[in-house]
Amino acid sequence: MRRNFCIVVTLLAVAIIFSTLSFAAQSKDPETLIYATIGGPETMDPHWSYDTASGEIIFHTYDNLIAYKGESTSEFEPMLATEVPSAASGLIKDDGLTYIFPIREGVKFHNGAVLTPEDVAYSVKRGLIFDRAGGPMWMMFEPLLGTHSIEEIALEVTGVENYSDLFEGGDPRGELKAQYKDAMIKVYTNYIDKTVTVEGNKVIFHLAQPYGPFLNILAHCGSWGAILNKDWCIAQGDWDGKADGWWKYHDPENENDPLYAVENGTGPFVLKKWVPEEILILERFNEYWKGPAKLKSVQYYYINEWTTRKLMLQTGDADMIYVPVQYLKEVEDMPGVRVVKNLPTLSNTVSMFPWTINAEGNSYIGSGKLDGKGIPPDFFSDIHVRKGFSYLFPYEIFIDKIMHGNATRVPSPIIRGLLGFVDDPSLYYEFSLLKAAEEFRQAWNGELWEKGCEFNIFYNEGNDVRKAACDMLSTYAAMINPKFKITPVGVQWSSYLKAFLTEKLPIFTIGWLADYPDPHNFAPVYMGSKGDYSAYFGEAYREFARENVDPLLEKGLKENDPKKREAIYRELAQIAHDQAISLYLYQPIGHHVERDWVKGWYYNPIMPGEPAGADFYNIYKE
């Protein structure tokens, strides 16, 4: 009897403790929102930013000419422009080659300067000149100049074979050879300068070709369309707005970029503090043209460890947190917490195989030979290697066990929700250890199976889902052949991106959030010779893509008939399958987790954020 009484008392005490934790939790500061997440930003420069973490901060600190309307991905509303151009209003002319934007008056930058049309023109031209390797500015080059980069224009104008040939010692960041100076000035005056002009209070874009997604590219959510203050940029040591010397400001190293760690936008929040991979603090801009935000401050804490983020949510020390899908059940029944599920996404996650790897000083490929202690740089140029890994991944098991059903399979880069998506069973690789082994036995004339291999595969540190994908590949590879030694490695996000850009990663897993909702924003990225990912698959792949992929990409972009466009992207999906270009792991189903005192959150799948973005201007706390 006494023992039972003690048990009852003990259980009652535990219940009181948990009740206190659950119901005593309250917002620590009604004007400050705490967001605990992973993977901090790489930069504050809108023209460098091409990762979700950086784009998320730029979204809150900079404005664009127009914005998506609420939750829509097809309707727009004015932002720094006073109207959204249309043919009916006369602001889209010349069969889609001219776009006119009247500029809002009286808008202030964070340093107190007043927005002018010249700031808008400078922002666009500065982005085109900046055009960093692997960056987002290809989206502006295609419609405005009909090319992919400023380096392509420079090669055409100067007649050299490689961009580095223009510079002393072959260093693009060094001195320009004197004989090319006049030609390089013409790159600006004859091309860049003519893309955008100013007439009174209007900014006019002059396109090289009709381009259906052009308004999507300019819209808020895309940092590359953010508007900067010209005088402030120059004061930071940035481009001076002149034709002579523009090349000195092209493709800088990240930390040497004058705007790397500073901001001066017109957005509702100001950057007050940034300690990379630790903390970032935004404060309300009280002179915001739409009126000040309700929140006084937003604080990001970058915490890779899940248990810490969970405890912060439970105790009310965090108002929002990043929750990987495998931990979603741990917060679904947490008192005082709101979980929004089944959010459609415009993103995917893919593991990629560079056909040729940069071997210089590269420890990730071991010996660099097919001797059982490494892999050769062209390891993945053998299609049997790529097909072997394609059969090796347990797609359905991964979605069920790791994603807990919060994802779906896609057979190519073109995801559900986009024109051209095909759900053809013949395009999906099945999980088959037998077929994987058959392919690996044929690879490298049988030498791979006999000698084995040893190398690293990569994911960004703190992303447990991607870690699980790498672990599965490693486990099943060793299962079919113990001589296959593949070691998963987690790397901090900023370092991860640098390693990928130098073409040193053998297999790397990464995701893509749509820049704009169109298949042309996915197929080129993963398959084109100049794609933001596929351009770093090595020269062997680039050569293949130039011949087999790029012509279809160009045809798909220019085709206006939806049925004909769909057929083109179906053909691209077939190439992706037949060549086993990458492992198309999954398309996530989104979710959002917040304390129930947070109000005003809404969902737009194009908004930057992980796994679902937030527009803090509209958010407040009760």
Residue 17: predicted pLDDT: 41
For the packed helices 539-548 and 550-558, what is the interaxial angle rounded to 10 degrees?
Answer: 50
In whole angstroms, what is the distance from residue 490 CA to residue 467 CA? Answer: 7
In whole angstroms, what is the distance from residue 125 CA to residue 372 CA? Answer: 51
Q: Where are the domains of the chain?
A: 32-39+268-343+590-621, 62-256, 347-588
Q: 21 falls in which pLDDT band (50, 70, 90)? A: very low
Tokens read off for 131: 């055009």
Residue 87: predicted pLDDT: 93
Q: Is 22's pLDDT higher than 70?
A: no
- For 83-131, the pLDDT digits (tens) are 999 999 999 999 999 999 999 999 999 999 999 999 999 999 999 999 9
For the chain, give the mean pLDDT. Answer: 93
In whole angstroms, what is the distance from residue 147 CA to residue 266 CA? Answer: 30
**Order of strands, sheet of 320-321, starting from the edge strand that comes earlier in the sequence:** 269-275, 279-284, 297-302, 32-37, 320-321, 590-595, 337-343
Q: Are 220 and 608 in contact (CB under 8 A)?
A: no
In whole angstroms, what is the distance from residue 259 CA to residue 271 CA? Answer: 12
User: What number is the average pLDDT over the span 369-383?
Assistant: 97
Q: Locate tokens 């089944």: which residue? A: 342
Kindly tell me the sign of the dihedral angle through the C-alpha atoms of 274, 277, 278, 279: positive
User: What number is the average pLDDT over the span 381-397?
Assistant: 98
Residue 558: predicted pLDDT: 81
Tokens read off for 46: 């809108």
User: For residue 607, how many C-alpha atoms fall within 13 Å in the half-sphere facing its CB?
Assistant: 26
Give the torsion through C-alpha atoms of 21, 27, 33, 36, to 10 deg.
-10
Count the Cβ atoms, other than its own, within 10 Å of residue 93.
13
Q: Are 280 and 59 in contact (CB under 8 A)?
A: no
User: For residue 54, how many C-alpha atoms fall within 13 Å in the half-sphere facing its CB?
Assistant: 25
Residue 219 DSSP symbol: B
Q: Locate tokens 């291999």: which residue? A: 453
Q: Are 457 and 423 in contact (CB under 8 A)?
A: no
Identity of residue 29: D
Residue 175 DSSP symbol: P
Domain 62-256 sits in which CATH superfamily? Answer: Dipeptide-binding Protein; Domain 1 (3.90.76.10)
Q: What is the CATH number of domain 32-39+268-343+590-621?
A: 3.40.190.10
The residue with greater pLDDT, 245 or 501, is 245
Identity of residue 535: A
In whole angstroms, what is the distance from residue 442 CA to residue 260 CA? Answer: 48
Identity of residue 252: P
- For 465-500, the pLDDT digits (tens) are 999 999 999 999 999 999 999 999 998 877 888 888
Q: 613 falls in which pLDDT band (50, 70, 90)? A: confident
3-state secondary structure 301-350: EECCCHHHHHHHHHHCCCCEECCCHHHCHHHHCCCCEEEEEEECCCEEEE
Tokens read off for 433: 């250890």
Tokens read off for 10: 């003990």
Query: What CATH number matches the domain at 347-588, 3.10.105.10, 3.40.50.2300, 3.30.1360.30, 3.30.450.90?
Result: 3.10.105.10
Helix (H, G, I), strand (E, B) or coil at 351: strand
Residue 405 DSSP symbol: T
State which H helix or E strand residue 396 sits in.
Answer: helix 395-397
User: What number is the average pLDDT over the span 594-603?
Assistant: 97
Q: Is 6's pLDDT higher than 90?
A: no
The residue with greater pLDDT, 28 or 393, is 393
* Rg of the chain in Å (alpha carbons): 26
**CA triple 148-150-155, angle to 5 deg:** 100
The residue with greater pLDDT, 357 or 613, is 357
Q: 161 falls in which pLDDT band (50, 70, 90)? A: very high
In the chain, what percentage of residues exceed pLDDT 70? 96
- For 118-160, the pLDDT digits (tens) are 999 999 999 999 999 989 999 999 999 999 999 999 999 999 9
User: What number is the average pLDDT over the span 396-419?
Assistant: 93
User: For residue 349, how many C-alpha atoms fall within 13 Å in the half-sphere facing its CB?
Assistant: 25
User: What number is the average pLDDT over the span 580-598?
Assistant: 96
Q: Is 325's pLDDT higher than 90?
A: no
Residue 302: predicted pLDDT: 96
Residue 490: predicted pLDDT: 92
In whole angstroms, what is the distance from residue 489 CA to residue 322 CA? Answer: 22
The residue with greater pLDDT, 25 or 118, is 118
Helix (H, G, I), strand (E, B) or coil at 65: coil
User: What number is the average pLDDT over the span 151-177?
Assistant: 96
Q: Are 265 and 207 in contact (CB under 8 A)?
A: no
Residue 9: predicted pLDDT: 35
Q: 18 falls in which pLDDT band (50, 70, 90)? A: very low
**C-alpha distance from residue 290 to each of 57, 79, 106, 201, 286 (Å):** 19, 9, 11, 20, 10
User: What number is the average pLDDT over the span 41-49?
Assistant: 97
Give the torsion through C-alpha atoms of 122, 77, 413, 504, to 10 deg.
30
Residue 449: predicted pLDDT: 98
In whole angstroms, what is the distance from residue 488 CA to residue 459 CA? Answer: 8
DSSP 499-535: HHHTT--SEEEEEEE-SSSSGGGTHHHHHSTT-TTGG
Q: Are 531 and 524 in contact (CB under 8 A)?
A: yes
In the chain, what percentage of residues exceed pLDDT 90? 84
Q: 24 falls in which pLDDT band (50, 70, 90)? A: low
Tell me the pTM.
Answer: 0.80
Kindly tell me the sign of the dihedral angle through the C-alpha atoms of 302, 308, 312, 314: positive
**622 contacts: CB under 8 Å, gap ≥ 6:** 27, 30, 597, 599
